[in-house]
Amino acid sequence: MPKRKELTDFERGEIVGLHKAKIPQRKIAEILNHPKSTVGDVIKKYNEQGLTSTIPRSGRPKILTDRDKRQLVKIIKANRNLTLVEITEKFNETLNFSISSRTVQRVLHEEGYTLQTEWYKIDKSKLIQLVKSMRYRVAEAIRNK
């Protein structure tokens, strides 16, 4: 896991702008609160390639677009009693290609839906409060022993 998030194009532009203003890398790092190595890498890439933005990374593109995902959620909301296979069949009718039920299951899980007796969206805030209260009761019981 990286310790920091990726720099935005604006932050990269700030670094290059300060570099063009003849400000030393160490000072740029202090001003923008980024590691000196990061500042150096951005400046080096700019000097060598003339680029401040990141290049696209390798990897397989996602099979479903955001629009497809919204359409899948719409199918779930219309009828929450459908099985995973039925959802997949209904969804594949709307697509020009076919996807597996495992893909549908993964997308629904990413969108926060789970299957109990019917599909529903998990409200994590209530779940967190429930867990907190249960932990508190257990701690009280242990303390009172």
Range 129-144 burial, b when 16+ CB lie within 10 A, else e = eeeeeeeeeeeeeeee
Domain that includes residue 14, residue range: 9-49
137 and 89 in a single domain? The answer is yes
34 and 95 in a single domain? The answer is no
94 and 137 in a single domain? The answer is yes
The answer to whether residue 83 scores a pLDDT higher than 70 is yes
> Where is 84: in which H helix or E strand?
helix 84-94
Range 19-47 burial, b when 16+ CB lie within 10 A, else e = beeeeebeebbeeeebeeebbbebbebbe
Task: Give the chain's domain count.
Answer: 2
The answer to whether residue 40 scores a pLDDT higher than 60 is yes
Domain containing 140 — which CATH number? Answer: 1.10.10
73 and 45 in a single domain? The answer is no
> Where is 121: in which H helix or E strand?
strand 119-121
Average pLDDT, rounded, for the chain? 87
The whole model's pTM is what? Answer: 0.50
Give the residue-averaged pLDDT of 83-102: 91
Residue 14's pLDDT is: 93
Residue 55 lies in a domain: no
44 and 65 in a single domain? The answer is no
Residue 69 lies in a domain: yes
70 and 93 in a single domain? The answer is yes
76 and 145 in a single domain? The answer is yes
Categorize the per-residue pLDDT at 1 as very low, low, confident or very high, splitting at 50, 70 and 90.
Answer: low
Residue 76 lies in a domain: yes
